[in-house]
């Protein structure tokens, strides 16, 4: 195992940051901000990648190809040239509470605050609020929170890939990572097959008696029960939803705890019937929080299933980056452990032979830990980007048209703090 330290001095990092900040447009300019006109070699780097922070004064929440969506104080913004300029800006008073966004293939942008979902179809000239429908087609409004300042994170998610081209159309499917901050929330998998115009529930988890709406940030043992009373499967939140084209099936894994009522860590497999607009879900396995099944970063490459363990709780820990045939997910004897970072993590992306993952900062000896393989798991390296402080990289987005991955840097493991861009050298 290689564990090199990056050869970047504090001075080099601050210099690159200053260049980025210097690229900001002055007030009154047509664009909100600009990325530096610099080649990758001018940015801080490790042996395996270049990296850079986002420009000051904005939060770049998502990207796709040449587009990027973000927010500033009181506004949402859109770039069509990888964040070099931001010509599209729309007043949005609740911008600081944007917790999810996804740029769709046709250019639509779907985004949410904590409990409200919105869609823009015209490059942020306007937006409309979307009312979610339940599995039977009825309106599914958010619950009335005990504390109005803690309405719940209904739509926030931690993977950066949330849509796939399936049978000639794009399908958006994601699950909410909730019940940590922002108030108690029901736990659901959502989907849209019409570019965000209609959003429905694909799967609703049951009512978790330990995560009632008691007015606190993460819920508790008293208060209003939330979720589907007909479903005995309970969880805290969803870590990942991913699509396997080889099976035409979706997989999801959840967390976090071992409860007297049962496990909260589950793996589910779902199949969507497009003609009937119906879902069929099955729980494949449920297990302890210190097992490899407390996980995230589900990815499929050439029919193989990859994931990373978020194992914690009482030792011994069953951690690592794993691979198997999808049919063998419930059989650990048939899993291959590709690498063990020896720290919990639920975040990973695979693209063009690069496996990119991260450390969960509160559990890591590193400040900002990056895990990378540039040869599809043959060799590995870990880097500590100490310049950013104690941060947990999450929400990995696929590379933009200039080759940069995008990720959140969370303080703790969930609070939005910074954004990092990373470009592999190979």
State yes or no: pLDDT of 405 exceeds 90.
yes
State yes or no: pLDDT of 179 exceeds 60.
yes
Q: Which residues contact 181 (CB under 8 A, 6 or more apart)?
A: 153, 217, 218, 414, 415
Other C-beta atoms closer than 10 Å to the C-beta of 166 total 16
**pLDDT-derived band at 426, boundaries 50, 70, 90:** confident
State yes or no: pLDDT of 6 exceeds 70.
no
How far apart are the C-alpha atoms of 168 and 225, rounded to whole Å?
A: 40
**pLDDT-derived band at 28, boundaries 50, 70, 90:** very low
Q: Which residues contact 287 (CB under 8 A, 6 or more apart)?
A: 263, 265, 293, 294
**Residue 42, pLDDT score:** 85
State yes or no: pLDDT of 38 exceeds 70.
no
**Residue 32, pLDDT score:** 55
State yes or no: pLDDT of 281 exceeds 70.
yes
Task: Give the residue, 368 or 37, on which the prediction is more confident.
Answer: 368
How far apart are the C-alpha atoms of 8 and 321, rounded to whole Å?
A: 27
Nearest by Cα to 320 from 310, 330, 312: 310
**pLDDT-derived band at 30, boundaries 50, 70, 90:** very low
Tokens of 281: 């879900």
Q: Which residues contact 46 (CB under 8 A, 6 or more apart)?
A: 4, 6, 7, 8, 381, 383
Q: Which residues contact 245 (CB under 8 A, 6 or more apart)?
A: 164, 166, 300
H-helix segments, 105-151 = none
State yes or no: pLDDT of 212 exceeds 60.
yes
**Residue 16, pLDDT score:** 37
Tokens of 294: 């407390």
For every residue of 307-340, DSSP letters joined together read EEE---SSSSP--SEEEE-GGGTT-GGG-EEEE-
**Residue 373, pLDDT score:** 98
**Residue 25, pLDDT score:** 26
**Residue 11, pLDDT score:** 28
Given a contact cutoff of 8 angstroms between Cβ atoms, the answer to whether 169 and 99 are in contact is: no
Q: What is the pLDDT of residues 224-247, one digit of tens each?
A: 999 999 999 999 999 999 999 999
Tokens of 266: 């589950």
Residues of the chain with pLDDT > 90, as a percent, come to 90
Tokens 């063009």, located at residue: 352
What 3-state class would DSSP assign to 266?
Answer: strand
**pLDDT-derived band at 128, boundaries 50, 70, 90:** very high
Q: What is the pLDDT of residues 319-344, one digit of tens each?
A: 999 999 999 999 999 999 999 999 99
Q: Which residues contact 312 (CB under 8 A, 6 or more apart)?
A: 289, 290, 294, 344, 363
Nearest by Cα to 360 from 371, 339, 345, 349: 345
Task: Give the residue, 244 or 8, on which the prediction is more confident.
Answer: 244
For every residue of 188-245, DSSP letters joined together read EEEEESSTTSS-EEEEE-B--TTSBBSSSSS-BSSSB--SBTT-----SEEEEEEEET
Tokens of 345: 């993590």
Q: Which residues contact 203 (CB under 8 A, 6 or more apart)?
A: 188, 189, 252, 268, 270, 279, 281
Nearest by Cα to 95 from 121, 124, 67: 124
Taking the domain 99-340, which CATH number applies? 2.120.10
**Residue 37, pLDDT score:** 53
CA dihedral 362, 381, 335, 349 (to 10 degrees): 70
How far apart are the C-alpha atoms of 214 and 406, rounded to whole Å?
A: 35
How far apart are the C-alpha atoms of 360 and 367, rounded to whole Å?
A: 9
Mean pLDDT over 8-13 rounds to 32
**pLDDT-derived band at 115, boundaries 50, 70, 90:** very high
Task: Give the residue, 23 or 118, on which the prediction is more confident.
Answer: 118
For every residue of 328-392, DSSP letters joined together read GTT-GGG-EEEE--SS----EEEETTEEEEE--GGG-SSSSEEEEESSTTSS-EEEE-GGG-S-E
pTM, to two decimals: 0.92
Given a contact cutoff of 8 angstroms between Cβ atoms, the answer to whether 410 and 392 are in contact is: yes
Tokens of 337: 């452990």
CA dihedral 390, 396, 397, 402 (to 10 degrees): 60
How far apart are the C-alpha atoms of 260 and 103, rounded to whole Å?
A: 40
Given a contact cutoff of 8 angstroms between Cβ atoms, the answer to whether 119 and 109 are in contact is: yes
Query: Using the 8-state DSSP alphabet, how is residue 25 labeled?
Result: P
Query: Using the 8-state DSSP alphabet, how is residue 133 labeled?
Result: B
Mean pLDDT over 145-149 rounds to 98
Query: Across the chain, which distance is largest between two alpha carbons, in Å?
Result: 62
What 3-state class would DSSP assign to 284?
Answer: strand
**Residue 35, pLDDT score:** 52
How far apart are the C-alpha atoms of 363 and 338, rounded to whole Å?
A: 21
State yes or no: pLDDT of 395 exceeds 60.
yes
State yes or no: pLDDT of 41 exceeds 80.
no
Given a contact cutoff of 8 angstroms between Cβ atoms, the answer to whether 377 and 327 are in contact is: no
**Residue 34, pLDDT score:** 54
Nearest by Cα to 2 from 59, 53, 48: 48
Other C-beta atoms closer than 10 Å to the C-beta of 395 total 25
Domain ranges of the chain: 1-83+351-426, 99-340
């Amino acid at each position: 195992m290689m564990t090199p330290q990056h050869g970047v001095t504090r001075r080099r990092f601050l210099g690159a940051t200053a260049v980025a900040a210097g690229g900001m447009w002055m007030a009154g300019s047509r664009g909100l901000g600009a990325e530096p006109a610099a080649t990758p070699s001018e940015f801080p780097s490790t042996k395996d990648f270049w990296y850079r922070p986002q420009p000051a004064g904005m939060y770049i929440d998502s990207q796709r190809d040449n587009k990027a969506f973000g927010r500033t104080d009181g506004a949402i913004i859109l770039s069509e040239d990888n964040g070099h300029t931001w010509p599209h800006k729309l007043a949005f008073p609740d911008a600081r509470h944007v917790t999810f966004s996804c740029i769709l293939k046709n250019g639509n942008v779907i985004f949410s605050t904590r409990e409200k979902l919105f869609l823009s179809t015209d490059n942020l000239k306007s937006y409309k609020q979307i009312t979610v429908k339940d599995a039977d087609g009825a309106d599914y409004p958010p619950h009335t929170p005990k504390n109005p300042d803690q309405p719940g994170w209904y739509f926030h998610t931690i993977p950066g890939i949330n849509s796939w081209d399936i049978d000639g159309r794009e399908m958006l499917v994601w699950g909410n990572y909730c019940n940590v901050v922002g108030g108690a929330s029901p736990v659901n998998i959502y989907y849209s097959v019409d570019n965000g115009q209609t959003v429905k529930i694909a799967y609703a988890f049951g009512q978790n008696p330990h995560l009632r709406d008691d007015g606190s940030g993460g819920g508790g043992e008293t208060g209003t029960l939330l979720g589907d009373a007909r479903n005995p499967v309970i969880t805290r939140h969803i870590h990942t939803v991913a699509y396997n084209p080889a099976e035409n099936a979706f997989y999801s894994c959840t967390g976090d705890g071992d409860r007297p009522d049962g496990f909260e860590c589950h793996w589910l497999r779902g199949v969507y019937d497009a003609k009937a607009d119906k879902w069929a879900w099955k729980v494949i396995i449920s297990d302890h929080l210190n097992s490899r099944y407390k996980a995230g970063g589900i990815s499929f490459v050439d029919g193989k299933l990859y994931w990373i363990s978020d194992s914690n709780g009482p030792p011994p820990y069953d951690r690592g980056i794993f691979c198997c045939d999808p049919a063998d997910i419930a059989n650990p004897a048939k899993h291959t452990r590709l690498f063990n970072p020896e720290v919990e993590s639920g975040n990973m992306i695979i693209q063009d032979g690069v496996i990119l993952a991260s450390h969960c900062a509160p559990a890591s000896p590193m400040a900002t830990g990056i895990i990378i393989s540039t040869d599809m798991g043959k060799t590995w390296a870990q880097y500590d980007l100490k310049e950013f402080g104690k941060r947990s990289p999450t929400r990995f987005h696929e590379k933009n048209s200039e080759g940069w991955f995008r990720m959140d840097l969370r303080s703790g493991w969930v609070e939005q703090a910074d954004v990092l861009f990373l470009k592999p050298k190979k």
